Structures are given as structure tokens and as C-alpha cells.
Amino acid sequence: MPNQKWISSGAAIGLSVFLIIVIVLRLSNGSQPVQIISPLGVMTALVAIAAFYFWLEQVSGWRIFNYLPPLLWIYATPIILSNTGVIPFSSGAYDGLRAYGLPLFIALMLLKVDVAGAIRIMGKGVFVMLIGSVGVMVGAVTSYTLGISLGVLDPSVWPAFGTLSGSWIGGTGNMNAAWVGLEGQPEHMTMAAIADNMVYIVWLPLLLGSRAFADRFNRWAKVAPDRIEQMDRAALVVTDTDHAPNMQQLLFLALIALTTTWVSVLLAAELPEISLGGQRVITESTWVILLVTSIALLLSTTRASKLPGAQPMAMAIIYVFVASVGAHANLTDSDLGEIGWFVAAAYVWIAIHGVFILAGAKLFRVDVHTLAIASAANIGGAASAPVVAAHHRQSLVPASILMALIGYAIGNYLAILTGRLCQLIGT
């Protein structure tokens, strides 16, 4: 396709220019290692890293990206660069992305939330997904309590549980939003990111493989015989009308996102911090995330939701933000033993989510296709839900995206709540 060729060519040219600059810096420094210090240079490096891995996935077709997605490499590469001194641990680029880039992402991403559309297609399957979200919260609190009771986890790691809850209720954006809202440290994001990917490579094949048990599962759940046909009919009326935005539409999107962020930052500075049990549970950072989320959800009910191009813009921002979070991680401060125990806790956690999602399917009598998509909308978010839907039933791909966006809509609220519950348990 011509568009893909132009994208590949543009990415290759941009990466080549960046590599030439790095080589020139290396030669000009002689035997000294290359150091990118200026915020503009650091931002260029972060964007180049994100672009490189998506370009590599596109042109190589390597199957490794099915199990270790570009997100993981985009996070890990800056860790290596910062720990070897190529880019700094602290930079104005990171601060700007945290203060403004993340709220802009939330504002753009939530513009497309369509709860009514998802319910029209998936019906009670949306409630199964919500039960799965509750299972994520219960699993987080349970595994955290178990970990600190056994003495294998320090109570101070509660932000990591809230951070991973964001990913497992909504997606990558919620993970980062929860990390900021809970004022997590770099090591908490490292723990969450590692556990997220370690569980993903096990859970995704299970969701894909569940299709083989469709008939037996549907008999067990007592699914109505015509449920699949009803979903297929409903899916026919839901079309993806998004298209390439023009200049005016891009300006409108930018204005909406910037205004939402600006208003939220102004209001958050005036709102009081809230404490429970002597612990701060809602800070200024938390208020910003909650306000941006709420305003964006209100805007999703207006004509602003019809503007094209919001999701690609949002995803570009969040992947660069993920790269900046990786650059914060100092490996010398990481406790590998505790990371291992956190991963173990995550497997207990996902098992609890699985029990909840099965109970929800049984309660609402939904089919295995819906169950798999509902879980993927939680655990994998907008990146994985369409993959699972396409494997199970191609007609449900649009609905899977809508369900994942519902996860984005509730993820910030529930993940921050989950983190704070763990905080209160640990005190």
C-alpha cells in the first residue's frame, strides 16, 4: 500500500538522520561516550526510539513482536541508554511529558469513548468486562496483602500495584496515568512493566486458545443459541468512520486537548489534598489525572467525539512518554529479588481476575468469544483486544476497540483507588 511505503520511507529517513547525528557526536568526542544533554536532544532520542521499533516491526514481520511488543522495547531501550550515560536520568523533556504530555494523551484518547456502541454489540459482555475490572482490583489488593504478609514484598511498593492495575483495567495510558497520579518512583514502573509483559505472554495465548472450547464453554454458561447472530447483526451497523484529519481538525483537536489540560492543571492547584489514616490519598497530581479524565469523558458525549485523528495522536504521545519513564530507571537502585516476587504476585493476581471473568460469563450467560474479548480489553487494552477479537470472530473487532476504550475511561479512577487501598492496607 502506498501509504505504508511512505510511512516506512519517512521513518527510515528520520532514523537515519538521528543516527548520523549520534555518529557525529561520537566522533567529535573522540574516545568519550556520546552524551545527549539538552532537552531537545533528549526528546529527539525518545521519539527516535519509539519510531524505530514500530518501523522494525512493520518491515521485519518478526514474530517476536507478537510476544514482546514494541512497547516493551520502547521502555527498555532508554533504560540502557540512561544507565550507560548516553541520556540523563533527569531532563526537562521528561518533566514536560509528565506534566503536560500525559494529560494531553488522556484528553485525546477518551474523546472516542462510545459506551452505547459497545453495549449495542456486546450486550451483557460489557458487564463481564466490568466484573473483570473488579477482579483486577480484588486481585491487586489480595496479592499485595499476601506479599507483605509473607514478608517477600515491602509495603512501600503499593504504587506498583496501582500502576499495574491501570494497565490491566485500561491500558498503557492508564498505567502511566496511575503511576503519575500515585506519585510512583521509577522502580515501581519497572516492576509493573516487567510483570505486565511476563503475564501477557502467558495470558494472551490462553485467550486465543479458548476459541477451541467454544461449544463446551457455551453449553456450560448456558448461552442463548442466537446470541452470536445477534452480535453479528449489531456489529453491521457500527462502522469506523475515522479518517485522516485535515488541518482545521488537527487544530480543533489540539485546542480541545490543550484547553482540557490547562483547565485541569489550574483547578488541581486550587483543590485541597485529601488524607486518610495519616496518608495522602489525593494529591495535586492525582487531581490533574482525575480532572482531565472527567472533562474528556464529558466531551466524548459531544460533537467533539466525531473529530478524526485523536487516537493516533494520543498513542504517539503515550509511546514517547513510556520511553521517558524508562529513562528514569536506575538499575543500581533496582531490587531484582523484589521484582521477582512482584511478578509471582502478578500471576496470583491474574488468576483472581480469571475467576471473576469466568463468574461474570456464567452469571450473564455470555459466549467464550465475548469472555476472551472482555478479558483482553482489560489486560491487553486497545492493542490486544482487536487481536483476540479477530482470532475469535472478525465481526467483533470494532466492538473490541470500543470495550477497550471503556477500560480507558474507568482505568484512571479504579487504578488510583486500587493503589490507595493498598497504601492504606500497608500502613
Q: Is it the case that residue 8 has pLDDT exceeding 60?
A: no
Q: How far apart are CA 217 and CA 223, in angstroms?
A: 9
Residue 332 near residue 79, CB atoms below 8 Å: no
| Position with higher pLDDT, 72 vs 368 | 368
Mean pLDDT of 264-283: 83
What proportion of the chain, given as a percentage, has pLDDT over 90? 33
Lowest mean pLDDT among 139-148, 156-165, 209-218, 256-265: 209-218
Q: Is it the case that residue 161 has pLDDT exceeding 80?
A: yes
**What is the tens place of the pLDDT at every residue in 194-220?**
898 888 878 888 888 888 888 898 889
| Position with higher pLDDT, 319 vs 16 | 319
Residue 216 near residue 367, CB atoms below 8 Å: no
Q: Is it the case that residue 20 has pLDDT exceeding 60?
A: no
Where in the chain are the domains?
Answer: 2-97, 104-426
Say what the pLDDT of residue 259 is.
96
* The residue type at 215: D
Lowest mean pLDDT among 249-253, 311-315, 322-326, 392-396: 392-396
Q: Nearest to residue 97, comparing CAs of 370, 280, 319?
A: 319
* The residue type at 177: A
Mean pLDDT of 278-303: 86
DSSP 127-192: HHHHHHHHHHHHHHHHHHHHHHHTTSS-GGGHHHHHHHHHHHHT-HHHHHHHHHHTT--HHHHHHH
Say what the pLDDT of residue 342 is.
95
**What is the tens place of the pLDDT at every residue in 165-185?**
999 998 888 898 899 889 888
Residue 148 near residue 426, CB atoms below 8 Å: yes
pLDDT band at 407 (very low <50, low <70, confident <90, very high): confident
Q: How far apart are CA 75 and CA 248, in angstroms?
A: 33
pTM of the model: 0.76
Say what the pLDDT of residue 2 is.
42
Q: Locate 258 and state its grid cell.
A: 490543550
Alpha-carbon dihedral 170, 176, 182, 184, rounded to 10 degrees: 140
Q: Is it the case that residue 67 has pLDDT exceeding 80?
A: no
Q: Widest CA span of the chain, in angstroms?
A: 72
Instruction: Classify residue 71 by burial, with Cβ atoms within 10 Å: 0-12, 13-18, 19+.
Output: buried
Q: Is it the case that residue 235 has pLDDT exceeding 70?
A: no
**What is the tens place of the pLDDT at every residue in 338-351?**
889 999 999 999 99
Residue 89 near residue 327, CB atoms below 8 Å: yes
Residue 283 near residue 419, CB atoms below 8 Å: no
| Position with higher pLDDT, 200 vs 313 | 313
**What is the tens place of the pLDDT at every residue in 87-129?**
898 899 998 998 899 899 889 988 888 777 777 777 788 899 9
pLDDT band at 1 (very low <50, low <70, confident <90, very high): very low
Q: Is it the case that residue 376 has pLDDT exceeding 50?
A: yes
DSSP 264-284: HHHHHHHSPPEEETTEEEE-H
Per-range mean pLDDT, top range of 69-73, 143-147, 290-294, 394-398: 143-147
Say what the pLDDT of residue 83 is.
87
